[in-house]
Structure 1
Amino acid sequence: MKQLFIPLLFLLLPLLTLAQTKAGGLVFDEGGNPVPFANVVFAGSTEGTITNEDGRFYLQSDNTYDGLKVTFVGFQPKEISLPQKVNYNLEITLQEETESLNEVVIYTGKQPKKNNPAIDILRKIWANKRSNGLSLVDQYQYDKYEKVEFDLNTIDSALINSKIFNKMEFIFDQMDTSRITGKTYLPIFINERSSQVFGDNILGKEKEELEGNRNSGFSTNQTLIAFIQELYNDFNVYDNYLKFFDKSFVSPLSTTGIDTYNYVLSDSAYIENKWCYNIIYYPRRSNELTFKGDFWVNDTTWAIKDINLQVNKSANINWVKEIYIEQEFDVLNDSLFLITRDYFLSDFALRKKEGSRGVYGKRTTLYDDYKFDKPMKESFYDERVTRYEEDVYTKPDEFWEEKRLEPLSKDEKGVYVMLDSLKKVPKFQRFYDVGSVLVSGYYEWDDANLDIGPVFSAFGFNDVEGLRIRGGARTYFDQNDPRRIEGFGAYGFRDKKFKFGLSGKALLDHKARLILSGGYRQDVEQIAASLTTSTDVLGRNLASSSLVTVGNNDQLTSIKLANFAIEAEFLKNLVVRSDMSYRTLKSASPTFNLDYYTDFTQSEIKSEVKQAEFVLSAIYEPGKRTSGYGVERTVTNEWFPTIYFGYTKGVEGLLDSDFDYEKLQMSYRQPWRMGGLGTFSSTIEAGKTFGEVPLGLLSVVPGNQNLFSIYGTFPQLNYYEFITDTYATLHLEHNFGGRIFGRIPFLKKLNLREIIGFRGAWGSISDENQLINATNIEYIAPNKKPYYEYSVGIGNILKVLRIDFNFRGNYLDTADARKFGVTGALEFSF
């Protein structure tokens, strides 16, 4: 997490050689009304664009043209001359095509689904989409070159003269103008990536071998590179949903597209000796994750030749003002159409107003040198890169001159020099430090190779410690560190006690990812907040992160935990771990205790639990991607399942341990993308304890007395309300992404998102565990009927706030039962 400040810096800074032909302006009808989605091309070429909802357009070309051609179904084509190389603020008026009004559909409003030639063509695309492209061959390989660039846009004199850029004015020497939007921009970062891709359709496997990676100023930062890769995931335009920015956009080629888009057959022409049809599409409804644009499709293979996609401006997406995509396909023979170029532009901004500043993110991907039917062994696809290969990130200029499939512009080349100079400016270094703290939570003390933090756990409050302060640090040389040491110290002003923790871990074998770890912690903790007991010595501590709670928060435990572990990842994303831990537990509060009877006559009571345990666990997370090759890695994606199995053996007598027992636990968590219906999260968890154990070792259904929404807990349960030794829980949550609110006139402009949730728990407690209970807490388990609660929530309030309204479904007569509550959370999402 150390270097993830770069993406945030791109979002914060906005607050703070030219193409040969450029043209921009507005298209109107004879009544002065703007004409949306009209085709505008340079005369005598296929280079063009379509007007937006307001009739506005902009395009540019490296070639020289002297005219524009504007076409629009139901209107006469119009050509205008371009007297200069740069032609802005053009106003073009179209006249209706009166002679053809009875033969064509006027291109306004909703288009018919029946007797529409565009939809007839669309159905042929569906029928043939698996008969085009790489799916036709058994094996394939090709060269792939990817260039990602970030630019400050809407550069004007006010920004250039701003005090924020004092002594950094030299960066504006690299300004250029976007061929898509017409805005002036300043390149501030560029990343190049060259790789070879291998695939086998019979095995169903694909592998990408990275040959070289280079970026301006941060050449060896794998976390930044991984972030870029996840931000701009590859996608197939033929899929029903195109997934990027954590969203699922309905593709214009989707089999559900008829219900989502209007389609108009606009034109036909020869493109590279292939007869093609041009179809314009635009959304039927606003606020949905849809596109507008057009595509050319071949009339025999029904394969896409060219397509452009522009996200509907009213789409419910945060921080992104505009998204524009172009894809080009080439014909290798009569049936094999392959992608050759993919261009993706996104305009990140805090506001969506036309003149607001932002940051362009541009990805250009080029594909070349396709080869087919050269099989590779299956083991080739299963090989993993387990070590950092520095030469991949430090290729010389000669390598890039050979591997680039298109040359860098003068301004792009200048970015490499500019950012190297910028890093020497003290003011930029201060921006660097602030961004790092905001994103990672740590302050980088480079001279000592330490990260200080996390700053977000510096203060807390609870009924035992009162005001709590906490400070910590960890060693950090780079993200490939083979070992790491971390520690913290904390102090409570009410209990006047010092707490601390120290841990270390070392990577012994890169190939098997064999890791040894150990540590010790002495602290105050809320152990009733999770069913799965963590063996992570410095894991999350609710006592240090909670400032405001509901009801009494005095049921805290003083814990001393020593742990030693060894783990390995012999198979990708399957981690097997063995722990040996020893802990002592006793109440941290005079109003709460963990007492238990030591015999069935209930004559002797102990208040402290001493327990030695051996834990064997396995976590499988298929599809997880990470960056870095050190002892700690950064997860760079999120849409993957997590499957956990754990076995715990408590050994009585070992190191004076008190109990002999066994515990089995499992959980399965899966986030789901539901296309146009939003996103869904599901978690099931179950466990059973064999043997007699006191409260501190039982499974407490996790309540949540915080005012913050915490997934996996029950916000209407108090701590220690349900206590079990056998349990099963279920958590379901669905975010509709604004699909409902987006259809309500007075709400749709707010871009709110609807969230519903359901949580349930069943459990039981044995008579033997009931008999040894000597605490001041009555054991209640939801065994006769499962406990449940549900919630409705509103997300994306002011783009960052979520509020959940939680309702308790049953067990309403339980003492201190909370029937209704409100929790909230800060969520930064697209």
Structure 2
Amino acid sequence: MKLHLHDEVFFYPIMNRYTYFFLILLFGFSGLNAQTKVGGVVNDNTGKTVPFANVVFANSTTGTTTNEEGEFYLQADDNFDTLVVSFIGYETLRIPLDSRVNLNMEITLEESASTLEEVVIYRGKTSKKNNPAIDILKKVWANRRSNGIRAFDQYSYKEYEKLEFDINTIDSTLINSRIFNGMEFIFDYADTNKVTGKTYLPMFINESVNKVYGDNILNEEKEVLLGNKNSGFNQNRNLIDFVKDIYDDYDIYKNYIKFFDKSFVSPISTTGIDTYNYILSDSAYVDNKWCYNIVYYPRRENELTFKGDFWVNDTTWAVKNINLETTKDVNINWIKQVYIEQDFKVLSDSVFLITRDFFMADFGLNKKKSSRGVYAKRTMLYDEYEFNNKRPASFYQQPVYNPQSQAYNQSEEFWSANRLEKLNEDEEGIYIMLDSLTKTKAFNRLYNVATIVQSGYVEFDGWDYGPIYSTFGFNDVEGVRTRFGGRTYFGQSDPWRIEAYGAYGFKDQKFKYGISGKVLLDPKSRLIISGGNRRDVEQLGTSLTNSTDVLGRSLASSSLLNIGDTDKLSSINLSVFSVEMEPLKNFTVRFGANYRELSPASPDFSLDYYVNEERTEIASEIHQTEFSTILTWMPGRKVSGYGVERNVVNEEDFPTLFLNYSLGVKDVFDSDFDYKKIQFFYNQPLLIGGVGFSNISLEAGKTFGAVPLGLLSVVPGNQTYFELYNTFPTLDFYEFVTDSYSAIHIGHNFNGRIFSRIPLLRELDLRELIGFRAVYGDISEESKKIDASGLPLTAPDSDPFYEYSVGIGNILKVMRFDVHFRGNYFQNPDARSMAFTIDFGFHF
């Protein structure tokens, strides 16, 4: 979500919700007590590798499939003495295992002479016609609504979740690295990953137990946290919530499986038939149910797809087990591989329920096999299903305040009774190792550096210095500007906070400052009072929708590179007091009062206005008292912490609605104008299946009453080279001024869907971007009449002003570049027909 209502706009690497991951990746540190390990490559008798061959331990359901290069790795907790390798059209091979560890195996399959004339061995695209695998898939589609919890009016179940982060590819170089001085003991806990065969070291484990209630008639669901436990970070709720949020719930029966802000085509969906090749590979009893095994793999490269296999029951046509693995060329950043396993059980002849869901992502700064990275693993177990127990609608209403502190302090007896899967010895050792690790000075030094990078603040005892990213800036009025500030900070759930800053411009030789404070009076309703004062230089009109947060600093203070003159700046003295509350979850109401004094900050800029009807007297300063009522609704927002300030966990994943009614009152504290103003803002992110994701925002507003330039709604231009949310890059500041307006901004990212079909561009993993922006507005004759600034007050009133843009994203994985084109109003003085912007940030 990028609604910059009161944020300072400055250029620095975007610290979004994925920053914790990148810090873990740079600084990084369940175990599986494996008894049998095998790995190698499968070839045919001509020397060609055999992709998607089945590799299982004899007399078990523990197995895997080979990848595109015919490679495999498999491990199990039990001892096995035989490995079975099979693929349609080849003789099944049983290989004795001489030891518990058998790696670098070279296995050769012989073509089956008895079936060569009857079986087509598929290596490339498979036919959609007369394909028994697709015939089975169509029966899965026809019966999918009778599978799972959606078959009942109401449901409930217990959910156990285990999250683990491990640093992988442990070698002597890492062990001897100076970064681990004082922490060498952690390498005693290294083990081997069951999917990739890489050595890894556990660095974080989090367990939680939830009770989930749902009503399919009301379309409501409620999750109650019963217990949460993690290794060494119980006080860092931000980290816990971040780790939990990187995983999205997904349903294999839907067309798309979403995680890491991407939509992958599900191989079980009706969309899959155009995306995957399917092969009927095998049939066997699975848990006393006769099932068919279907192998699938992508038809095209570089798309958001999987490869793997699934087992389907032959009477209910429900999926019994499925494996999903991303291909090596998938267009997703920082991830080398994603692996998913899901198991289902039979509730009746018509209903299958999920019992286990395993998700693993192999993160890395690049996709080389030998590169070091981080495993993020989630294991979900489900039990104690109950159905058709009706509860009132009020039961599902989510409380605004729900700290659940007791859930974070459960006893060992609780965990022994509520774990749906017992920890093995290595996993129990993670708690011992990491609790010891967090007590070492070396680790805490790394952890403190990571915290600074993520938050932008340097922590001291009871207060923080920062944000460090806004230390320097430049504009035509102040020249080089330096800024320093800080805030009180005792913990993530502080009931009060004071924040202040000071700044100095070396050209105007003036000192600026801002100070604010806020107090949480009632956690249950989130009743907060706040106030403060700011005296600074500001670029008015950088956003159509704005608030009066006392520390809402403008880009004037921090922009380093600009286009044209940036001298249309104002000096502001702003005092604010407000009361806000959250009567319903994610719905806030704020009542505020503010008093501001505005004057030009440059001799070349004017805010002059006439003070009498004869237009003979002019004032250069504006004194204004204003009262406002602001309503904000953000359905689906997730927050971390319960103090006066909370962190948003799932940024850019939820819609925002904002309504502001303001009343300007004359003669209160020598206020100059009477007026009424209403503003509306709506922002909606949209994930559009396999064609990427969009973001749409709408803005509208109107001022009733005559007001001068300093109180009008300026259409936000952008005279920087950096992307600024909901601005118009080909417009200069004050090129359009309105007192009523409506605007739309549309942006779409195709996620590389087009470039993936172009051979020369395919390997670059670039992403196609398009955008469209338009605004319509006018100025009343009353407001024009009192203006004496000398600026041409022009509004886009004859036709809507519009721009369009094309761009390329994911350049070097961190940068986007856009070209913006003006659509009309070329007759405006110094009109720019084209503009360029860049943006930086970590995105998957």
Give the TM-score of the pair, scaled to structure 2: 0.96
Aligned to 1:11: 25
Aligned to 2:6: none
The amino acid across from 2:805 in the alignment is S
- Pairing partner for 1:570 from 573, 583, 588: 583
CA deviation map 1:267-287 (0-9, x unaligned)? 111112211110011111111
Q: Equivalences for 1:597-676 in 2 at 5 Å?
A: 597-637=610-650, 638-676=652-690
- Pairing partner for 2:534 from 521, 544, 564: 521
Aligned to 1:75: 90
- Pairing partner for 1:542 from 536, 555, 577: 555
Aligned to 2:733: 719
CA deviation map 1:339-396 (0-9, x unaligned)? 1111111111101001111011111111111122222222111141614232211112
CA deviation map 1:311-337 (0-9, x unaligned)? 111111011111100000011221221
Using the TM superposition, give the Cα deviation of residue 516 of structure 1 relative to its aligned residue in structure 2, in angstroms. 0.9
Aligned to 1:678: 692
Q: Is the Cα contact below 8 Å between 1:3 and 1:223 reproduced in 2? A: no
Using the TM superposition, give the Cα deviation of residue 6 of structure 1 relative to its aligned residue in structure 2, in angstroms. 4.4
CA deviation map 1:137-166 (0-9, x unaligned)? 222111111000101111111211122212
Q: Is the Cα contact below 8 Å between 1:4 and 1:439 reproduced in 2? A: no
Matched, 1:101 2:116: yes
Q: Cα distance 1:228–1:518, how it changes in 2: closer, same or farther (>3 A)?
A: same
- Pairing partner for 2:75 from 60, 73, 79: 60
- Pairing partner for 1:363 from 375, 378, 389: 378
Q: Is the Cα contact below 8 Å between 2:16 and 2:842 reproduced in 1? A: no
Aligned to 1:772: 786
**Counterpart of 2:541 in 1: which secondary structure?**
helix
- Pairing partner for 2:227 from 212, 217, 230: 212
Aligned to 2:217: 202
**Counterpart of 2:270 in 1: which secondary structure?**
coil
Matched, 1:486 2:494: no
Matched, 1:695 2:709: yes
Aligned to 2:8: none
Unaligned runs of 5+ in 1: none
**Counterpart of 2:760 in 1: which secondary structure?**
coil
Question: Which whole-Å CA distance do the structure 2 matches of 1:5 and 1:410 have between them?
Answer: 31
Aligned to 1:822: 836
Using the TM superposition, give the Cα deviation of residue 808 of structure 1 relative to its aligned residue in structure 2, in angstroms. 1.0
The amino acid across from 2:600 in the alignment is S
Matched, 1:237 2:252: yes
Q: Is the Cα contact below 8 Å between 2:545 and 2:699 reproduced in 1? A: no
Of residues 652-661 and 768-777 in structure 1, the stretch that sits farther from structure 2 once superposed is 768-777
Aligned to 1:792: 806
Aligned to 2:827: 813
Q: Cα distance 1:793–1:2, how it changes in 2: closer, same or farther (>3 A)?
A: closer
Q: Is the Cα contact below 8 Å between 2:191 and 2:201 reproduced in 1? A: yes
CA deviation map 1:656-704 (0-9, x unaligned)? 0000011111111100001110000101111111110000000110000
Q: Is the Cα contact below 8 Å between 2:343 and 2:357 reproduced in 1? A: yes
Question: Which whole-Å CA distance do the structure 2 matches of 1:336 and 1:647 have between them?
Answer: 52
**Counterpart of 1:746 in 2: which secondary structure?**
helix
Q: Is the Cα contact below 8 Å between 2:319 and 2:344 reproduced in 1? A: yes
CA deviation map 1:100-134 (0-9, x unaligned)? 23433322100111111111111111111111111
Using the TM superposition, give the Cα deviation of residue 4 of structure 1 relative to its aligned residue in structure 2, in angstroms. 8.4
Q: Is the Cα contact below 8 Å between 1:4 and 1:440 reproduced in 2? A: no
Q: Is the Cα contact below 8 Å between 1:474 and 1:485 reproduced in 2? A: yes
Question: Which whole-Å CA distance do the structure 2 matches of 1:81 and 1:342 have between them?
Answer: 31
Question: Which whole-Å CA distance do the structure 1 matches of 2:582 and 2:573 have between them?
Answer: 29
Aligned to 2:100: 85
CA deviation map 1:273-310 (0-9, x unaligned)? 21111001111111111100000011111111000100
Question: Which whole-Å CA distance do the structure 1 matches of 2:790 and 2:164 have between them?
Answer: 62
Question: Which whole-Å CA distance do the structure 2 matches of 1:162 and 1:502 have between them?
Answer: 44
Q: Is the Cα contact below 8 Å between 1:716 and 1:807 reproduced in 2? A: yes
Aligned to 2:206: 191
Unaligned runs of 5+ in 2: 1-14
Using the TM superposition, give the Cα deviation of residue 13 of structure 1 relative to its aligned residue in structure 2, in angstroms. 2.5
Q: Is the Cα contact below 8 Å between 1:387 and 1:510 reproduced in 2? A: no
Report the number of matched residues: 827
Using the TM superposition, give the Cα deviation of residue 2 of structure 1 relative to its aligned residue in structure 2, in angstroms. 12
Question: Which whole-Å CA distance do the structure 2 matches of 1:769 and 1:201 have between them?
Answer: 54
The amino acid across from 1:298 in the alignment is N
The amino acid across from 2:199 in the alignment is T
Using the TM superposition, give the Cα deviation of residue 521 of structure 1 relative to its aligned residue in structure 2, in angstroms. 0.6
Using the TM superposition, give the Cα deviation of residue 812 of structure 1 relative to its aligned residue in structure 2, in angstroms. 1.3
**Counterpart of 1:108 in 2: which secondary structure?**
coil
The amino acid across from 1:345 in the alignment is M
The amino acid across from 1:145 in the alignment is Y
Q: Is the Cα contact below 8 Å between 2:400 and 2:585 reproduced in 1? A: no
Question: Which whole-Å CA distance do the structure 2 matches of 1:602 and 1:277 have between them?
Answer: 87
- Pairing partner for 1:309 from 324, 334, 338: 324
Aligned to 2:543: 530
Matched, 1:738 2:738: no
Aligned to 2:449: 434
CA deviation map 1:530-553 (0-9, x unaligned)? 112321111242122211111101
Q: Equivalences for 1:325-344 in 2 at 5 Å?
A: 325-344=340-359
Question: Which whole-Å CA distance do the structure 1 matches of 2:84 and 2:367 have between them?
Answer: 30
Question: Which whole-Å CA distance do the structure 1 matches of 2:93 and 2:157 have between them?
Answer: 42
Q: Equivalences for 1:156-195 in 2 at 5 Å?
A: 156-195=171-210
- Pairing partner for 2:602 from 572, 584, 589: 589
Q: Is the Cα contact below 8 Å between 2:33 and 2:425 reproduced in 1? A: no
Q: Is the Cα contact below 8 Å between 1:4 and 1:436 reproduced in 2? A: no
Aligned to 2:12: none
Question: Which whole-Å CA distance do the structure 1 matches of 2:379 and 2:709 have between them?
Answer: 59
CA deviation map 1:493-520 (0-9, x unaligned)? 1111111111111111122211111111
Q: Is the Cα contact below 8 Å between 1:194 and 1:213 reproduced in 2? A: yes
Q: Equivalences for 1:241-390 in 2 at 5 Å?
A: 241-384=256-399, 386-390=401-405
Question: Which whole-Å CA distance do the structure 2 matches of 1:527 and 1:101 have between them?
Answer: 77
Aligned to 2:721: 707
Q: Which protein, 1 or 2, shows the higher relative CO under an 8 Å CA cutoff with sep ≥ 6?
A: 2
Following TM superposition, where does structure 1 have runs of at least 4 consecutive aligned residues deviating by more than 6 angstroms?
Answer: 1-5
**Counterpart of 1:401 in 2: which secondary structure?**
helix
CA deviation map 1:609-635 (0-9, x unaligned)? 000001111111111111111111111
Q: Cα distance 1:540–1:736, how it changes in 2: closer, same or farther (>3 A)?
A: farther
Question: Which whole-Å CA distance do the structure 1 matches of 2:508 and 2:93 have between them?
Answer: 82
Q: Is the Cα contact below 8 Å between 2:501 and 2:514 reproduced in 1? A: yes
The amino acid across from 1:306 in the alignment is N
The amino acid across from 2:349 in the alignment is D
CA deviation map 1:464-515 (0-9, x unaligned)? 0111111111111112111111111111111111111111111111222111
Using the TM superposition, give the Cα deviation of residue 421 of structure 1 relative to its aligned residue in structure 2, in angstroms. 2.1
**Counterpart of 1:529 in 2: which secondary structure?**
coil
Using the TM superposition, give the Cα deviation of residue 3 of structure 1 relative to its aligned residue in structure 2, in angstroms. 11
The amino acid across from 1:565 in the alignment is S
**Counterpart of 1:100 in 2: which secondary structure?**
coil
**Counterpart of 1:435 in 2: which secondary structure?**
helix
Question: Which whole-Å CA distance do the structure 1 matches of 2:790 and 2:432 have between them?
Answer: 69
**Counterpart of 2:39 in 1: which secondary structure?**
strand
The amino acid across from 2:530 in the alignment is S
Question: Which whole-Å CA distance do the structure 2 matches of 1:236 and 1:146 have between them?
Answer: 17
Question: Which whole-Å CA distance do the structure 2 matches of 1:432 and 1:649 have between them?
Answer: 48
Question: Which whole-Å CA distance do the structure 2 matches of 1:114 and 1:688 have between them?
Answer: 60
**Counterpart of 2:144 in 1: which secondary structure?**
helix
Using the TM superposition, give the Cα deviation of residue 399 of structure 1 relative to its aligned residue in structure 2, in angstroms. 1.3
Using the TM superposition, give the Cα deviation of residue 462 of structure 1 relative to its aligned residue in structure 2, in angstroms. 0.3
Question: Which whole-Å CA distance do the structure 2 matches of 1:105 and 1:372 have between them?
Answer: 46
CA deviation map 1:747-797 (0-9, x unaligned)? 110100010001111111112211211113101111111111111111100
Q: Is the Cα contact below 8 Å between 1:194 and 1:211 reproduced in 2? A: yes
The amino acid across from 1:473 in the alignment is G
Give the TM-score of the pair, scaled to structure 1: 0.98
